[in-house]
Homo-oligomer: A and B are copies of this chain.
Amino acid sequence: MKLSSRTEYGVRAMIELAEAHGGGPVAVREVAEKQGISEKYLEQLFAALRKEGLIASQRGAQGGYTLAKAPGDIRVGDIVRALEGPIALCDCLANGEDDAVCHRMGECAAHPLWVKLQDGITSILDSTTLQDMIAGASGDSANDMGGNSEEESRDEQDLP
């Protein structure tokens, strides 16, 4: 249960682009420096994000990257999937639907829990957009996975 640096970096970088949205393209170097990420590594993450159509590139001098859509149209889930592939807690959930085939299917009492967990995760990640994040709140729109997240991260836009 740990985020990969890939995901952490990717999301932070996308936030950076979101904040620059509307202006010109931003170079990898700039994002890497601001966020303290290896430039060459981030380059690779951007390649993946670009392949999935989340960002667009402008080559050559003064070039860089821009969001391919409005910040409100890019969900964190999209970023995670672009960087890590489909969110599938275990192989038997790869399809995401109930026709998924578990090799031990009939016997696996844990299966329903994994489904629930995966749905919960997906639903949180997909209900938060870049816009939500740069607005300073964790966007929790209509979606509360029954969690104890009653703690509405109010006005604490920047963390301690």
**Interface residues in chain A, defined as those with a beta carbon under 8 Å from any beta carbon in chain B:** 1-3, 8, 11-12, 15, 35-36, 76, 80, 84, 87-90, 98-102, 104-117, 119-125, 127-128, 133-134, 136-140, 143, 145-149, 151, 153, 156-160
Given contacts A106-B139, A121-B1, A146-B147, contact A160 B116 (CB under 8 A): no
What are 30 A-B pairs with beta-carbon distances under 8 A?
A1-B89, A1-B121, A2-B90, A11-B110, A12-B109, A12-B110, A15-B109, A98-B160, A106-B138, A106-B158, A106-B159, A107-B158, A109-B133, A109-B134, A112-B138, A112-B156, A113-B138, A115-B153, A116-B128, A116-B140, A116-B147, A117-B121, A117-B125, A119-B149, A120-B120, A121-B121, A123-B146, A123-B147, A124-B146, A148-B148
In the assembled complex, the Cα of A84 lies from the Cα of B37 at a distance in Å of 27
Whether the pair A104, B35 counts as a contact (CB closer than 8 A) is: yes
**Which residues does chain B contribute within 8 Å of A160, judged by CB atoms?**
98-102, 105
* Min CB–CB distance A78 → chain B (angstroms): 13
**Which residues does chain B contribute within 8 Å of A8, judged by CB atoms?**
90, 110
Choose among A1, A90, A98, A139 the residue with the greatest number of B CB atoms under 10 Å from its CB: A1
